[in-house]
Amino acid sequence: MMTFRRKQVVKRLRTFIALAAVPLFLAACGNLSSSSMSSGSGSSKSGGTQLTGQTTDGDYEGVIKSGHYQTSKSRGVTNSQDSGNTYNLKSFENGMLSVSKKVFSTKKYVFQEGQYLNTSTVQNWLDRKSKSNPDGLNPTSNGSTSPTKRNPVYIQALEEQDYMTQKNSKLSLSGVTIGIAVNSVDYYKKTQYGATYETKISKAAGEAYAKKAANTVLQRLRKKSALKNVPIVIAVYRQASNDSLVGGTFMAYSNNKAGATSVKSWTPLGDKNYVFPTESGSSSPNSNDESSFTNFKTQVENFFPNLSGVTAQARYNGKNLQGMHVNITIQFYSQTEIISFTQYLQTAAQKYLPSGVPIDITVSSTDGVQSFLSRTSGSKKFTSHVFNSY
């Protein structure tokens, strides 16, 4: 897997000017509201910086420079790493945002895609350590191709997120979050186009490896002048296997104060993901939630002939449900059927699905998403939208 990794060509539209070295002119100063776009937008002054606007208080705004979104310097690396299970992709980046919110308030900080680790650096770090690649964070190959004897590739993805604050019309770097993703299964090939083999990595082994690597990463980042004196959060994530219907979860994070060059302590993160209905033999942390889901599923499947499937991703912290993503796959339905079905789902979801947690429901056919419903943790009613066209 590592040896034959697709080296995705990452197109970069323009040369980046190191952010810290350039004075930035904010469109709106001292106010991180969505109105910050009101001036500057539409003009293309070089160096003009805007923010994306905020959809809810719980989201970070992002940085726009000269009308372009400030994309990551290592754009695309994570995507090519994680192609085996696309749930990992969303889960990893969303999780990094969630961890960051524990440290960097969305009211004070602005999100910027990572600007300090570029594509080649991240790729070298993710490769095995070798004579030609002394910076590799993954272990040197021991020559074995046996699933249980070889040194597996532990670290599958590494990503940087920057958190900015504004002072005197300038955006300056005030924090960094690094996500380190370790494999639960390392997929590898013995020959270039040969069969795929698997080396399993226990949670404990993966977590220990990631935490050791985190120390190395922290020391390397401190050598960059811009990163010497900012808090650096490092969060370690365990990838779900390629056959999983849900992504992985974060195991722990450390908040390293400005200047700190070694990780002092880790805060454990207990979120776990489950798929409903659970496979026979496995169980979820709270049987009430699962029977709620089963009741909902039965009602919904009864509604239409030939409904293809009702499944859900459920996230738990201990025995406490944190939220659900419900996916309903339908055959081709007429528009009036989809409207009626969505109305029915709105009532049935409110009646049967667990209350007090955020839930969304996506209804898809082979033609794509047909409708969707969602409810925030505080609400009782689901809002809905039926996709439409003229």
Cβ(194)–Cβ(139) below 8 Å: no
CB of 203 to a copy of itself, least distance (A): 17
Residue 49 or 313 with smaller CB distance to a copy of itself: 313
Cβ(181)–Cβ(153) below 8 Å: no
CB of 10 to a copy of itself, least distance (A): 10
Residue 93 or 198 with smaller CB distance to a copy of itself: 93
Residue 199 or 284 with smaller CB distance to a copy of itself: 284
Cβ(304)–Cβ(337) below 8 Å: yes
Kindly state the tokens that stand for 159.
Answer: 């990503």
For 94, half-sphere exposure in the C-beta direction (CA atoms, 13 angstrom radius) is 9
Residue 31 has a CB neighbour count (10 Å cut-off) of 12
CB of 218 to a copy of itself, least distance (A): 22
DSSP string, 365-383: ETTEEEEEEEE-TT-SSPE
Please report, for residues 115, 175, 209, 333, 348, the alpha-carbon distance to residue 77 in angstroms, rounded to integers and kept in the order given: 14, 22, 21, 39, 42
Kindly state the tokens that stand for 336.
Answer: 């009036």
CB of 148 to a copy of itself, least distance (A): 30
Residue 93 or 141 with smaller CB distance to a copy of itself: 93
Please report, for residues 42, 273, 351, the alpha-carbon distance to residue 235 in angstroms, rounded to integers and kept in the order given: 38, 17, 37
Sheet arrangement for strand 25-26? 25-26, 48-51, 63-65, 68-69
Long-range contacts of the stretch 356-359 (C-beta < 8 A, 24+): 357/321, 357/322, 357/323, 357/324, 358/323, 358/324, 359/323, 359/324, 359/325, 359/326
The SS3 call for residue 154 is: coil
Residue 187 or 304 with smaller CB distance to a copy of itself: 304
Residue 251 or 263 with smaller CB distance to a copy of itself: 251
| Burial class of residue 145, CB neighbours in 10 A (0-12, 13-18, 19+) | middle
CB of 320 to a copy of itself, least distance (A): 15
CB of 223 to a copy of itself, least distance (A): 26
DSSP H or E run through 79: helix 77-81
DSSP H or E run through 150: none
Amino acid type, 390 = Y
Please state whether beta strands 155-167 and 271-276 pair in parallel, antiparallel, or not at all (unpaired): unpaired
DSSP H or E run through 335: helix 335-352
Residue 93 or 260 with smaller CB distance to a copy of itself: 93
**Crossing angle (nearest 10°) for helices 287-303 and 335-352:** 150
CB of 114 to a copy of itself, least distance (A): 9
CB of 386 to a copy of itself, least distance (A): 8
Residue 168 or 366 with smaller CB distance to a copy of itself: 366
CB of 244 to a copy of itself, least distance (A): 10
CB of 321 to a copy of itself, least distance (A): 12
Residue 60 or 209 with smaller CB distance to a copy of itself: 60
Residue 99 or 263 with smaller CB distance to a copy of itself: 99
